Structure 1
Amino acid sequence: MVTDHLIKLTNVPETVSSVTAESPSESPGEIFHRLYGDDHHSASQSQYSHERVLECGKWGDTKPSPLFLRAFADAASCLDRDPLCGIVSPPLMGSHGTVPLTVIGPLIDVIRHVTNAIVRAKREVLLITSVWQPSCAQILIRDALVELSRRSQSNRVVVRIMFDKASFSNVWDPHRPVSEAEWTSKAIDLPSLEEIPNVDLDVASYHCVPLGTQHAKFCVVDGTSAMVMSCNMEDNDNMEMMTRLEGNVVQGLRDTALLCWGKSLGRDAQGLERKNSGVEVGEGELRHVRSNDLKPEIKNECLVPLMPDQPHYDVDIASEIRRVQANHEPGRGETPLQATNRVLNMMARKQVPPSGPEIAPDEVFTPYITTLTPQDVPIAMVSRSAYGPVDKSNVHVPQNEAWLSLIRNAERSVFIQTPDLNTMPVTEAIVDALTRGVEVTVYLCFGYNDAGEMIPGQGGTNEQATQRLLAMLPADGPAREKLHAHDYVGKDQNYPIHASFKARSCHVKILIVDDCVGVQGSGNQDTQTWYHSQEVNVMVDSPLICRAWREGLERNQNTHQFGAVAEDGIWRDADGNPGEGYRGNPGVLEGILWGAGGMFKKLKDSHG
């Protein structure tokens, strides 16, 4: 499992990000292959060794748990076959750091933190996302770049932005530079270089044809902090999730960003790369904030939320927390339920009235949650590179192996929240866990699947996948009692709303096992993510953080109370009727026709 070759790979003294400091004219990909080679080694069948796995990571003073370490070993073993499959320099895959802030809420609350981080940048911003559309989120990023330039009059800041807008040129090269004329067009609407004289902006697109979508979503600022998120730059009705990371793990995320970028950074970046490669990481903003300052209570404060026409940036994260929470608190004449309904309706295409029970004052929607730990915790990069061909051979990647290992070695509980779940490997792993007596809770989004997933071999809808899962369990056996399958229900509702209505959807992607190890990032549990998309995820080893994540998720939705599906895998109302929008289980021909149309629309919209 842990070969001599793997130990050698993970202990090379140089990394892509460190070498770019000396050779910025060389592309990150060229540097990677020079450092680690591209020879594929056969995976070893050697016995698992705790000590040998520890040699493969830079854990600092932390002590990885057996569950985490086993998952890391399974994920890292993929590097024997392909050192680049995890899109990070192998020495940076296993690391440590803190997760001082978690955001669980509407997309705009995630972007508010990202924009605050951008305007406080001193040297560099690397923003990688999938979908980029004209939207409130996009305008907030645009405005942040203008504000960053205004603040940076004494020094220039390098900003690199990458998204996925597929074009014919991707047939020859997945990486496509985006010209200033294109990025200032209405379709992208970023500021011209003239508007941001103190910012060196560079924009690119990535797509590995035909199916290798750039689906990762993260931002690295100054090489000292990173935001790993579930959301794109668009307006929608989604509940999203983001974690802010600080410490040595940020070096790995910056390394990944450079590998995603792919192209050489140019001679002008040489000084910047040297500064970032030598930065001391670990003393983040929240380390200097007292815990009492992070409580969400609002005491008669009138704090206007950050919006495109209201650029209210904050001086630190504690101030951000207070401002965002003020927007979720009841205004004059509002109940907590009405306040939550107001906020969740703001970006939804369809405005819906509240249907859920009144919210207790101490249970109000709380999007910004402090997850700061007293010391660093073990953190690993468990990502996957893009794979374009139309087959399912590219499955042995760190992301997939980490997920499977955690479920396979779970002893008490598995919690999964994802927009969609329809791949057989994870379904079979869940069945095995249930058979062992493990409690498995799965929160999906009703109707969220792309129509293309109806094509045979693409996994089907969430409802079909849930029915398939139930069919693999004995009807009256104890395993069924251990499975808790739910459809997402918004905090202000008492029933799931089909995603086609664009009113209440959930885009969170998280796996928590035994309440102590969690994986969060961009990866779904669908065919596209498992076999094709470029994804970035982090695996965190901390009961404290995992507990805060689970509590925050449960607090900000009503899924547990009202989302349980019936015995046939379909959510039904009190009269036994499926939720509005449910299309049933189409046959093969209908699935092909509907799915083909969905795939065409997906490619047309470049949806991520």
Structure 2
Amino acid sequence: MNPPSGFVHDFLKRLQDQSHAPGRWQNADFPALDTRIASHLDLVVSQSTPQTFHIGTGASIFTNVLIPAIAAAKREIILVTCFWAPSKTLDAIHDALTKLASHRRDLLRDGHHLSPLSVRICFSSRSLFQKLFHPQSRDGHVYPASAWKPKLGLPDSELLQAGAVDLRVKSLFFLPFSVMHPKFVIVDRERAFIPSCNVSWESWLEGCVQITGAAVASLVRFYALTWDRELETERALSTSIDETPDFDPQAASLHHVSSPAHRRVALPSATSPTTTLVLPSSHHWNPRYPFPWQKAPDAPATPLNIALLELFDHAKRSIYVQTPNITCRPVIDALLDALQRGVDVTIVTNRNMMLLEQLVTAGTTTGLCLRTLVRRYRRLSGDRHGQISGGRGRGGDEDVEAASASSGQLSILSFRPRIGAKLDEHEEQPLMAGADRGEEPVHSHLKLTIVDDEFTVLGSGNMDRASWWTSQELGILFHDGELASAVRSGVEGVMDGRFDVVFDSRSDRD
């Protein structure tokens, strides 16, 4: 089902009007996007055929979905992530690249012809020391082959060379805390995966959508604008087929990490490509630290920020937001406006996740922002005394009924591990009771917005100040009711037994 032309029209008009308003800092954007330029407009407004949606931990998604796709590549692998750290995921990447390179080396020794396999790995953060002393150039830092194995945990350069694997590893980071936060994998420029997870050790709930179609080319162009400005994005990869045995990830016994939260959600087959918005949020220098006594500047008018605000403003029935943290004032204001119009709002977030990061980048915390949200929500119905207390709310039944009559319903949920899971004291990861040692997620790192059960936004962007003001982000928006239903159903199935109710306007408990 294609979106009404009105949404795309209103989104683009708002984007163009605000991105070129006086006082904007688009000259400092990285990358600098101008939707008046045809190629930049084509990057944003595209089409795709969504294939699958996976939910699980970062390690389970990488080992079950991303690494098998990487191992099946014929010509090119582009892996972009934010954090790169020793972990089960990194061990699995090392194992897969080692076995893939060995397979290709053996074929070459047997006289087979193989085209070089281009592998591009890009990340932003590896350690505190790396960030403090990282070059501040937009050219970033390219790691020499001598650093691949000892510093990055990748295979030996000689093995990769013997297998005709052309590897390049690059990092970008800008002080004080501007990370390149997108995560995506592109295989042979034919299919793309947009996960929420990093190459890291955290056992968090994550999501990943796989697409094919024209939007894959949009992702390639976005990659080139940030990581490889000399890449020939319009040049198709070689289509010649080597008559050599394919590398079989299953037969190679690649690393596998299970999780009781892992689900594969088959997305509905569309009769035609789905209109898809590829939504970058460019990196910005933080224009003003968010001290409480300072007036905060407007959020940068990026495609991702504008699309989310446009969705919130036009919501008619419901808004579902799942985000690790929520410290962004424009988001809270927009959700309150929607509630006042009678739109039901559900927020799924975490307690006490990355508190130091929240204080440094936002000057506040998710808990404080949620208290403010509930207090302002209750004022919509005339109850000026309610607050989140961690137990029973102070508003009575009459207040709840008044809120129901005049505004939308508000529900706030906090993610937690499923009851019955226990923590392994060495790995600091929860293990299910008994013999199942699959990873139980301890926090939700999924970034998901569903509006009116029609529009679905996935990607890297959080509803926090860092994502909206300084970090580079990437979102992808689909307008398809069946897709929204499938994703929502899959997520709710995983969330069953993994949340606490922080506030629910339908009851007198919060």
**Fold shared per TM-score above 0.5:** yes
Query: Match of 1:274, as an amino acid?
Result: R
Residue 468 of structure 2, aligned match among 520, 526, 530: 530
Q: 1:24-55 deviations in whole A, cap 9, x for unaligned?
A: xxxxxxxxxxxxxxxxxxxxxxxxxxxxxxxx
One-letter amino acid of the counterpart of residue 154, structure 2 = L
Distance 1:244 1:252, change over 3 A: same
Deviations 1:496-529 (A, max 9, x none): xxxxx76411100011100000110000011110
Counterpart check, 1:407 vs 2:312 = yes
User: How does 1:94-113 map onto structure 2 within 5 Å?
Assistant: 94-112=45-63, 113=65
The alpha-carbon distance between structure 1 residues 91 and 204, as it changes in their structure 2 partners (threshold 3 A), is same
What letter matches 2:135 in structure 1? Answer: N
The answer to which structure, 1 or 2, has the higher relative contact order (CA under 8 A, 6+ apart) is 2
Superposition deviation, residue 120 in structure 1 = 0.8
1:178 partner letter: Y
2:341–2:408 contact (8 Å) kept in structure 1: no
CA contact (8 A) 1:86 1:384 kept: no
CA deviation after TM superposition for structure 1 residue 482, in Å? 0.7
Paired-residue identity, %:
26
Question: Who is 2:273 aligned against?
Answer: 376
Query: Separation in 2 of the partners of 1:567 and 1:546?
Result: 23
Relative to 1, partners in 2 of residues 1:563 and 1:489: Cα closer, same or farther, differing over 3 Å?
same
For structure 2, which runs of at least 5 residues remain unmatched after alignment?
109-113, 126-130, 240-248, 289-296, 384-398, 423-427, 431-441
Q: 1:394 to 1:409 in 2, by over 3 A?
A: closer
Larger strand proportion, structure 1 or 2? 2
1:76-118 per-residue CA deviation (whole Å, 9 max, x = no partner) reads 6556564944598332210111110101111122102111111
In the alignment, residue 563 of structure 1 is paired with which amino acid? D
Pick from 182, 200, 214 the counterpart of residue 216 of structure 1. Answer: 182
1:71 matched residue in structure 2: 11
**After superposition, what is the alpha-carbon deviation per residue over 1:133-190, rounded to whole angstroms, capped at 9, x for unaligned?**
11110111122222333444422110010111325242344611111122221x4111
Distance 1:551 1:76, change over 3 A: farther
Structure 1 position 441 matched with structure 2 position 393:
no
> In the alignment, which residue of structure 1 is the partner of 2:447?
509
Contact 1:130 1:163 in 2 (8 A): yes
SS of 1:431 mapped into structure 2: helix
RMSD, matched Cα:
3.2
Distance in 1 of aligned mates of 2:178 and 2:500: 33
Aligned counterpart in structure 2 of residue 159 of structure 1, from 115, 119, 124: 119
Which residue identity is paired with 1:378?
Answer: T
Q: What CA distance in whole angstroms lies between the structure 2 residues aligned with 1:76 and 1:520?
A: 23
Contact 2:47–2:213 (CA under 8 A) maintained in structure 1: yes
- Matched AA of 2:489: E
Aligned-partner residue type, residue 411 of structure 1: K
The aligned residue for residue 40 of structure 2 is 89
Is the 1:418–1:444 Cα contact (8 Å) retained in structure 2?
A: yes
Match of 1:189 among 147, 150, 153: 153
Partner Cα distance (2:11, 2:420) in 1: 37
Q: CA deviation at 1:446?
A: 1.4
- Unmatched segments (≥5 aa) in structure 1: 1-60, 280-304, 314-323, 328-342, 345-364, 496-500, 577-608
The secondary structure found in structure 2 opposite 1:241 is: strand
Could you say which residue in structure 2 is the equivalent of 1:555? 493
Report the count of equivalent residues.
425
**1:289-337 Cα shifts (integer Å, max 9, x gaps):** xxxxxxxxxxxxxxxx979x94279xxxxxxxxxx9xx6xxxxxxxxxx
- SS of 1:141's partner is helix
Match of 1:116 in 2: 68
Whether the 8 Å CA contact 2:411–2:503 is kept in 1: the answer is no
Given that residues 174 and 209 in structure 1 are in contact (C-alpha distance below 8 angstroms), is that contact kept between their aligned partners in structure 2? Answer: no
Residue equivalent to 1:235 = 201
Paired with 1:493 and 1:409, the residues of 2 have a C-alpha distance of 41
What is the CA–CA distance in structure 2 between the aligned matches of 1:484 and 1:261, rounded to whole Å?
A: 40
Distance 2:456 2:298 in 1: 26
Structure 1 residue 395 and structure 2 residue 263: aligned? no
1:169/1:489 CA distance change after superposition, 3 Å: closer
Question: What does 1:197-596 correspond to in 2, within 5 Å?
Answer: 197=162, 198-265=164-231, 274-276=235-237, 310-311=253-254, 343=259, 367-374=263-270, 375-391=272-288, 392=297, 395-454=300-359, 458-473=362-377, 474=379, 475=383, 476=399, 477-478=403-404, 482-492=409-419, 503=430, 504-558=442-496, 562-566=499-503
Contact 1:78–1:85 (CA under 8 A) maintained in structure 2 = no
Q: CA deviation at 1:403?
A: 0.7
**More displaced 10-residue stretch of structure 1: 141-150 or 95-104:** 141-150
1:171 aligns with 2:76: no
SS at match of 2:197: coil
CA drift of 1:399 comes to 1.1
Task: Find the aligned partners of 1:464 and 1:224 in 2 and give their Cα distance.
Answer: 44
Match of 2:80 among 128, 136, 140: 128
Asked whether the equivalents of residues 146 and 157 of structure 2 are also in contact (C-alpha less than 8 Å), the reply is no
What's the TM-score, normalizing by structure 2? Answer: 0.76
Letter of the structure 2 residue corresponding to residue 463 of structure 1: G
Aligned residue type for 1:466: L
Q: Using a 3 Å threshold, how does the CA distance of structure 1 residues 253 and 312 change in structure 2: closer, same or farther? A: same
Q: Deviations over 1:52-84 (max 9, x none)?
A: xxxxxxxxx955464455335434655656494
Structure-1-length-normalised TM-score: 0.64
Change (3 A) 1:193 1:366: closer
SS of the residue 1:563 aligns to: strand
